Structure 1
């Protein structure tokens, strides 16, 4: 077999956050470990590509939310107590590699929401590295792992996993084949379509696909001071909908994923403070298949080269236009949101101003769209093992995590099991 070099104990597919944190638990073991990553190594990563290459999405904003009930279903799989312990280890690991200089804060439950049934907040400790410190932290991790006995092979897009009588054969797009006793999938949200088709033949997927879609909202920086107090962020839930990546004094920036233009948030430490506040209001959408989800998103984003934006007061006259707001993202004017997303955004903002007793200005910007992608969930047990013995799936590609902190925690968890 071209590329074969004997049998590895473990083959990890992907070198993103969950994989890196698993490897840090395995680097001093006697296991023979191979990592196959579709993208480049750390030193050759394109800063514009947030997904492929060593560290994966860990080299983006670097916001780690340490709450068992936020960012994934890890607590439902292994329990609240064990999840809290794993999240503490993630924080400790980040500090070990330079993350002690990150912005830290606790998003508490504001007193104004204690008796609210419709609008609730999530208490959460956050460690926000930002892009510059994230690169430093993962650079240090890369150097530590490269100095170990773990083998890395980059630019190796895996397209087929075949169960054998003993172990697995893993074939890449280059035609190389490697054999491993056990295989760990850690590809994040960017699963190669050819590999996904192969995995479907192994019958390890559940049927439902989830995509969270919402609008990025940019308003006056003082609009939520009643809830924020001295905190830079509050995490709010309104039924199934929730706020995400709130940035007081931050900016709205352009993000491209799957060639779609999206409105993303950036904290004020990256490129200077503003007088605005921004966040996304996300709404989960569920589809019977990944192809149905893809069709919905293609129609939603179309072929736009930039983000569409509109003023709140232009679509909801009940919000009086007052203080002029300077948008921080260049946008194309037009109806930014479909009706099924525009109506709840207006209702949410109206609820906010009722709770805070502070008017939401009609100058507020609505940007369309922001999105979070979830691969079709892989069915795994409490050890992240699929229905095929020896085939594991961790991080966001498992569907059990959808945040940096919980993805990292799943890697720590499986790494600890394997290292025993």
Structure 2
């Protein structure tokens, strides 16, 4: 059985590729392959157990229709300056056009019409003034907040819409290998993701790989095995910070999400805030080899007393080292080791004092942590010195913008690592050096986040129907 288009990965990039392609050519034969379940069959046992049970064969938070986006806070960044490097490839103005287009689709499927961060320009100016005082840059970025529960509703509608339009979606199906002959893609080797025992070669005129951060490591293996041009990208290593809403009140009300960038001394590496969740909850994602990574989300209706956000330090490597993904994995393994397989949490004051945090100290804190099974400990015993120095100095700068941010009771969870550090070399049509093979979304290294991946998917769907 042959297909005109095979899409590997049903995250935002894959979803919007299929959506735009089938809209333009209703009879187009499209196969969408997803390693996990339908979105309406995805659930995390931790909601009942309050403890991660390391689901096998995959984590339901990271794998399944809509990828990690289903359980994220569902923030859509509406500015092309936020969300990856795609503007470097095709230009910022063009990317903005497709972000606006993708945003209309989200609205059509039920996204909240309210846009955060645009209602109080004078207050934004004051936050920017403080950022400058702290040697930070505030990036203006309107945000459309879906909320974790609403994001699942929207992606369920998108899933069912694609099925109604005739897109074939194979769930619990893993792409094992790419079939390449004479430097041209001819299909994909698939297997059952549960038993790994039912291999099948499926032919396709072209293949779009959009496997998300979860599939970035697999895509890098494919690049090495099939001589697909790629290069080492940036690896972002950091922590998830949690503090009381009262401390973040002004920024939360004015911007909802503050996107701040700095280059603190002595190393002058890029450090940034990412994925801010007012009234949110710290969460855990599991990757291959039982690797636990911290994240955060927020609901539309259910709120906590805390705000959480990531602080990420960017690291770029030169020759002879070219394995940034493996580097990030090793850091995660060390932190997980100290937490006995769980996420570590430490008070900021204890980091400055050179001591670990004890559970009794967490229990008497003003900041009640929202990740129930996080283990109190010592991040500095596992995180690289350069990374921790960057984070500490960045937090001191943030304290100028948000007084109280550098409180002794501010909580730091680790590790938070973004696995999009393998960058596939593609042309303006997103095609690799292998004819008929396209790469997009976070796994390609060109996007970071829901909206930019969605916009890239729309462009891909359009290109496949010209």
Distance 1:334 1:411, change over 3 A: same
**Deviation string for 1:213-243 (max 9, x for gaps)?**
1111222323344555533221111121101
Match of 2:375 in 1: 332
Match of 1:186 in 2: 210
1:87 aligned to which of 99, 118, 129: 99
Q: Could you tell me how far apart the structure 1 residues matched to 2:257 and 2:215 are?
A: 32
Residue 100 of structure 1 aligns to a residue in which SS? coil
Residue 381 of structure 1 aligns to a residue in which SS? coil
* Equivalent runs, 1:132-147 vs 2, <5 Å: 132-147=149-164
Moved more, 21-30 or 198-207: 198-207
Q: Could you tell me how far apart the structure 1 residues matched to 2:217 and 2:408 are?
A: 43
Match of 1:265 in 2: 296
Greater percentage in helix? 2
Give how far 1:400 is off: 0.5
Distance 1:209 1:301, change over 3 A: farther
Give how far 1:169 is off: 2.9
* Equivalent runs, 1:81-160 vs 2, <5 Å: 81-100=93-112, 104-106=115-117, 109-114=124-129, 115-116=132-133, 118-160=135-177
Match of 2:243 in 1: 219
2:452 aligned to which of 406, 409, 418: 406
Give how far 1:170 is off: 1.8
Contact 1:219/1:278 (8 A) holds in 2: yes
Contact 2:75/2:147 (8 A) holds in 1: yes
Moved more, 53-62 or 131-140: 53-62
Give how far 1:293 is off: 4.1
Q: TM-score, normalised by structure 1?
A: 0.88
**Deviation string for 1:23-47 (max 9, x for gaps)?**
1112241322222222223333344
Residue 116 of structure 2 aligns to a residue in which SS? strand
Contact 2:216/2:419 (8 A) holds in 1: no
Contact 1:323/1:361 (8 A) holds in 2: no
Is structure 2 residue 84 aligned with structure 1 residue 72? yes
**Deviation string for 1:90-119 (max 9, x for gaps)?**
111111111136x63027754343444820
Contact 1:65/1:127 (8 A) holds in 2: yes
* Equivalent runs, 1:288-303 vs 2, <5 Å: 288-289=322-323, 290-302=325-337
Q: Could you tell me how far apart the structure 1 residues matched to 2:347 and 2:64 are?
A: 38
Match of 2:350 in 1: 314
Distance 1:46 1:86, change over 3 A: same
Give how far 1:327 is off: 2.6
Is structure 2 residue 67 aligned with structure 1 residue 52? no
Residue 382 of structure 1 aligns to a residue in which SS? coil
Q: Could you tell me how far apart the structure 1 residues matched to 2:400 and 2:408 are?
A: 15
Q: Could you tell me how far apart the structure 1 residues matched to 2:416 and 2:107 are?
A: 30
Unaligned runs of 5+ in 1: none
> What RMSD over aligned residues (CA atoms) do the two structures have, in Å?
2.8
Unaligned runs of 5+ in 2: 45-58, 192-197, 264-269, 355-360
Q: Could you tell me how far apart the structure 2 residues matched to 1:296 and 1:273 are?
A: 30
Contact 1:131/1:270 (8 A) holds in 2: no
Give how far 1:145 is off: 0.9
Match of 2:50 in 1: none
Contact 1:60/1:130 (8 A) holds in 2: no
Give how far 1:120 is off: 0.8
Q: How many residues align?
A: 411
Contact 2:312/2:391 (8 A) holds in 1: no
